[in-house]
Structure 1
């Protein structure tokens, strides 16, 4: 376990770092701590997961994976990475419906922050959760299932209710995907493009009236896009979404068929994802407001481009999870990968947030944002009550959690 997050913009303030090797050790650790937080693979860009107390990783627990073919689920150790789970699952003939762009992230961390892939009919990764196992504040081991009335508040929980040790996920039969990249999408064709394949990502540098790249991830049995698809040009070589970065880091393109876990992510498991030296922000808006929201950002395009590596546009289906940015609304996610310069990025980030404010934006919980998003969540008060029930002494709380969910 390191003392900083993946991007190195956060150095953890924890007094002690732990990586227990068994459940009894973890339970004793949680029960005896005054302040404790779980840390995953460190792909968050803010201090939501930090603590002045103990920081604990569950990556040292046994890497258990159990497939239940009758129920159509797989139960995995929470510290496992999605890429490792996916490789195992594919070998058994099964798949997850969707994956994030990075297969490097831990299952528990991604679920707790509603991390997502793309697809207008596909929910974020937390929507695949059928059950959770967690160590609560007193060291007890609790399993909660989808039928529990608290479940919708416990899946995307920001690590605030306990240390998650196991996650049960819905699975589907394995499938193959072909990936195509297209250049120069007219802005007016954005909505059509976002619904054109199983999973779609659109990239822009905010330097042109057209959108730079469209990554279409189609089931392998679907026809390829026609030569003149939406006024774009087909890539004739593999690409990286960040200009100047090597394409070998990315999953195979040019229509080459491959299994779901080797195409749905943008990046390959054995390579450094994205550029590494970066900051990230992301806001989720109502899908219906996509064109209007992008137009609201146009006056800031030059300032955005000056501190931007790439911006990605994706769709996420609505769900019922209380703290999901996609709660009760189909969403457009606008993701910014900034340069690694906080002083230069912060004022631009604030301007973006101000310009998007009329659309009730909900930030990705693991990225950089400034506004408290509480007012945009209809079940906010219900989650705050749940926090008090599970953690009355504030064992899992942080300064940022206190800011977003003040205590009574």
Structure 2
């Protein structure tokens, strides 16, 4: 019983994910205030998962056991100038970390579309921004601190043999309390939105700036918008850049949503953390009422992958809010969708209608199958486990690592166990 006049800390634990399409089935909810309290909780539980910002659209993070938020742990942001790194609490949002870093003269090389997501959750699912030379956010990880299945505190870094297998860990190897990230000097960017890009100019557009996103609705012959985030001291794109025209007012990627929610455009220079994301930290990102899917194919297959989806565009458009096309650089992380291949990314923000969306997701996956697509781990997909395993050279190695660190499946979930059975 909670003493009179005191609040129940478990009441601060989310009961559903951000999109509200998953209501958590946990038998108990927890919000520890210290690592020692977390260790005791993990050691005494038979089934436990951590929930971050809840910006996941599937049940990898759902559990019938104990669900715990680490948001009650101290919000550490500790810069090490000599190493060029920062150690942060895993539950902190990227936007909050970025603001503190910037005041100290440092930056992260890249950020995702929205700064609302937790560091540990984004890293565990290989969430990413955009840019041909930028890896996903997990590639900036230099070390992890996590509570393992027996309640011990484990520190791993780039000198550990299994490190590249543990970074994108799907929350299955332990509860991540701290993350050490590489930092760079703070910098400024300018954001320009260009309209109506011809399909044949897509490849050149994607490589034209520090970070580039292209938006389409699968209804028109041209790609609707190009969001170019370029280093501030570079000249603006010329008036006739790649056959496009300049937006004369700020835009939101989802038609009908307020542009006020988005980061400054029209070439106005500003800090890296206020330009790299599409959305402002204090505002609703995207539309809020949605589902999402995303597929990573080889960078060289961009044009062919888009052409393959032309046959199902009539299925995509009616259940789509917007589609985003991006690039991500290759890496060595075992479960990264960008493992050992530069990637072209096809992102779909669907309407909030699971029954209508799932058949279209299946059709998209069928059309993309020749390109061995790797779905984003935190979004909606229906890929068969055997097919997915074949697309990751280190899939079996991760399964073995999982069995070694969590032999009884304490951090397992029904969906995780389907893809990594023990």
Do residues 250 (structure 1) and 262 (structure 2) align?
Answer: yes
Deviation at 1:336, TM superposition (A): 0.1
Deviation at 1:2, TM superposition (A): 2.0
Match of residue 180 from structure 1: 192
What's the CA shift string for 1:185-216, capped at 9, x where partnerless? 00011000000000000000000110000000
Deviation at 1:64, TM superposition (A): 1.0
Kindly report structure 1 stretches of 4+ aligned residues shifted beyond 6 Å: none
Query: Which of the residues 351, 356, 365 maps onto 1:344?
Result: 356
Deviation at 1:402, TM superposition (A): 1.1
Deviation at 1:267, TM superposition (A): 0.1
Paired residues for 1:70-149 under 5 Å: 70-149=82-161
Report the number of matched residues.
Answer: 407
CA distance in 2, matches of 1:208, 1:350: 23
Do residues 329 (structure 1) and 337 (structure 2) align?
Answer: no
Deviation at 1:297, TM superposition (A): 0.2
Paired residues for 1:126-275 under 5 Å: 126-275=138-287
Do residues 307 (structure 1) and 319 (structure 2) align?
Answer: yes
SS at match of 2:143: strand
Do residues 25 (structure 1) and 41 (structure 2) align?
Answer: no
Match of residue 370 from structure 1: 382
Do residues 60 (structure 1) and 72 (structure 2) align?
Answer: yes
CA distance in 1, matches of 2:92, 2:412: 24
CA distance in 2, matches of 1:24, 1:2: 22
What's the CA shift string for 1:50-109, capped at 9, x where partnerless? 111000111110111100000000000001000000000000000000000010000000
CA distance in 1, matches of 2:143, 2:315: 44
CA distance in 1, matches of 2:14, 2:79: 32
**TM-score computed with the length of structure 1 as normaliser:** 0.99
SS at match of 1:400: helix
Deviation at 1:288, TM superposition (A): 0.2
Kindly report the root-mean-square deviation, in angstroms, between the aligned alpha carbons of the 2 structures.
0.5
Deviation at 1:294, TM superposition (A): 0.3
SS at match of 1:153: helix
Deviation at 1:129, TM superposition (A): 0.1
SS at match of 2:403: helix
CA distance in 2, matches of 1:374, 1:46: 18
Query: Which of the residues 286, 289, 310 maps onto 1:298?
Result: 310
Match of residue 399 from structure 1: 414
CA distance in 2, matches of 1:356, 1:65: 41
Match of residue 10 from structure 2: none
Which structure 1 segments of 5+ residues have no match? none
Which structure 2 segments of 5+ residues have no match? 1-12
CA distance in 2, matches of 1:103, 1:165: 19
